[in-house]
Amino acid sequence: MLSRERLIRLIRRSQTYISIFLFLVVFFFCWKFAHLDIRDIQLSNWGKSGWIGTVWNTAVCGFAISIAINSFLYLRSAARIRYKKAFYALFAFLSACLFFVGFFNIDYRMIHNVSAGLYFFFYPLTIFLFAYFNRKHMTYSDWVHKVALSTSMALFPILLMTMFKGMAIAEMAHTLLVIIYNIKIARHE
């Protein structure tokens, strides 16, 4: 029989891996069937209309919920974290922003773009602030990983946006780094 803590850890890891797998399957599915050049668009164009739009937007909303659950369970399991309530609020806000990106497609330009901008800017900043304020309570390698991932999340998309007309490749780089971060915190003991 598994202890309660081990069961929660197993559920957290499982839901994280399953949601990431489903998100990646939907990503490649939309890439194949949308017939849009990802060098010229933003990924939100996949969610504009039709059945591909429904599939894409549902995957984005599901990914947002998974990020929220993973972040909350990670913060709850970390006993020595400073400013825990503030980070609960920040990660909840960022998950809500991503959820709004999926729920309000690109036709609702104002809500969609503001939510996307907040998510893409503040997610790396929140991870960086988390590492900065809790550096004394983390192992050195954990601190370095969080700082490196947050810095990469901020810089790689900016670099890629200067190289391509659309934002899809920059969004993909950001999403891959978010996936790496979520796998890392899901594996946290």
156-167 pLDDT per residue, tens: 888 888 887 777
pLDDT attached to residue 185: 85
pLDDT tens, position by position, 67-112: 998 888 888 887 788 888 999 999 999 999 999 998 988 888 899 8
pTM of the predicted model, to two decimals?
Answer: 0.85
Amino acid identity, position 37: D
pLDDT attached to residue 1: 54
Report whether pLDDT(56) > 70: yes
Of 78, 70, 54, which is closest to residue 20 (Cα–Cα)?
A: 70
Percent of the chain with pLDDT over 90: 27
What angle in degrees, to the nearest 10, is found between the helix axes of 168-186 and 50-77?
A: 40
pLDDT tens, position by position, 126-156: 999 999 998 888 889 889 999 999 999 999 8
Cβ distance 112 to 106 under 8 Å?
A: yes
Domain count, the chain: 1
Which domain range does residue 162 map to? 4-186
Q: Going by C-beta distance under 8 Å and a sequence separation of 6 or more, which residues neighbour residue 57? A: 47, 102, 103, 105
pLDDT attached to residue 95: 94
